[in-house]
Amino acid sequence: MSRSSQLGTTFGAMTAGARRTMPAVLRRKRSAAVVRTLTRLKRALHAIDMRALGPELRQRARAQAVLDELSAIPAAVLVANDRGRYIDANSRATRLTGYSHAQLLRMSVWDLTPTVRQVQGRRLWQTFLKRGSMTGVYTLVGAQGNTIRARYYAAANVLPGVHVSALFAVKRSQR
């Protein structure tokens, strides 16, 4: 299966588990926006793969397409490498977590995971990398030590070794 086909399957599966307690209109708008953006990304990556480019140019073009499309997602977006270290984050991620962009780039998934959930978090990370996608609710620790519950849609290997999570804060009434 080609990388772009895998992405299409991953992105379709990511929205399948959307929680039903979120107001329907808001849930549809958020999910639809994420799906539209990720579908555009899939098409852009496929178009790049179809061009007669050398491997280095193709990889650069794919990376730029990922960055361009991720900037359009109306959610907190965290981008991590295979080791769980953050390699990029958007402004919504800084607002959600309370950390600056520079601080997030010095952190890993484990730095945002509450201490009592470290073992579970590492297990989830390994499962995510194996499955290729995951959706659910995850608890984060904010910059002020506050607990943040967030609904996430995550896709592994949007580029080799690059994994993306789109997060939405879960309000108390949505839990």
The CATH number that applies at residue 31 is 3.30.450.20
The alpha carbon torsion through 108, 69, 157, 58 (nearest 10 deg) reads -120
For residue 136, give its domain range.
3-174
What the block records as the tokens of 91 is 């402004």
Report the distance separating Cα 87 and Cα 63, nearest Å. Answer: 12
20 DSSP assignment: T
Over residues 67-81, the mean pLDDT reads: 81
pLDDT of residue 83: 92
Please give the pLDDT value at position 57: 75
Q: Would you give the DSSP letter of residue 36?
A: H
**Mean pLDDT, to the nearest integer, of 145-165?**
88
How does DSSP assign 121-153, residue by residue?
Answer: HHHHHHHHHHHSEEEEEEEEE-TTS-EEEEEEE
pLDDT of residue 172: 58
What separation, in Å, do the N-terminal and C-terminal C-alpha atoms of the chain show? 37
Average pLDDT, the chain: 76
User: What pLDDT, on a 0 to 100 scale, did the predictor assign at position 29?
Assistant: 61
What is the number of structural domains in the chain?
1
Q: What is the pLDDT of residues 7-54, one digit of tens each?
A: 333 333 333 333 333 444 445 566 666 666 667 776 776 676 667 677
Segment 98-111 shows an average pLDDT of 95
